[in-house]
Amino acid sequence: MDSSGSSENVESRVHELNIKEEEMNIGEIKKEEELSVEQIFAKKEVPLWKKQLTIRAVVVSFVLSVMFSFIVMKLNLTIGIIPLLNVSTGLLGFSLSRHGLSYSRDQGC
C-alpha cells in the first residue's frame, strides 16, 4: 500500500509539474506576442549580401534594367524628356515578381 501511495504521489507531482511547464510556455508565448518586430529581430544578425543574393533577384534586375533602358531611350528620342521612373519601376517589379511566382506555381515548382 505504501508503494502504490508513493507512485500516486509521484504521478500527481509529475502532473503538477507538467501543468506548471505548460503555464510557463503560455506565458513565454504571450511575452513574445507583446514584442514588436524590431525587438524580435534586434538580436538577429543581418546576413552578408552574398547570402542574400539569389538567381531570381539577378534575373529580375537584369530584365527590369533592360526594359527601362529601352523605355527611357524611346521617350528621350521621341519626346525629348527623361522621365523619373521610380514608381513605375516598383510597380513593374512587383507585377513581374507576382507573375513569375504564379507561373512557377502553375508549373509545379
Chain segment 8-63, per-residue pLDDT in tens: 676 777 667 666 666 666 555 555 567 788 888 888 888 888 888 899 999 988 98
| Spatial separation of the C-alpha atoms in residues 12 and 20, rounded to whole Å | 12
Phi, psi of 83 (to 5 degrees): -80, 160
Instruction: List the chain domain ranges.
Output: 2-41, 49-107
Residue 49 or residue 92, greater confidence = 49
Centre a 10 Å sphere on the Cβ of residue 68 and count the other Cβ atoms it contains: 16
Euclidean distance between CA atoms 76 and 25, whole angstroms: 63
pLDDT over 60 at 91, yes or no: yes
pLDDT of 104 reads 86
pTM of the entire predicted model: 0.40
Q: What is the pLDDT of residue 55?
A: 92
Number of Cβ within a 10 Å radius of residue 64: 15
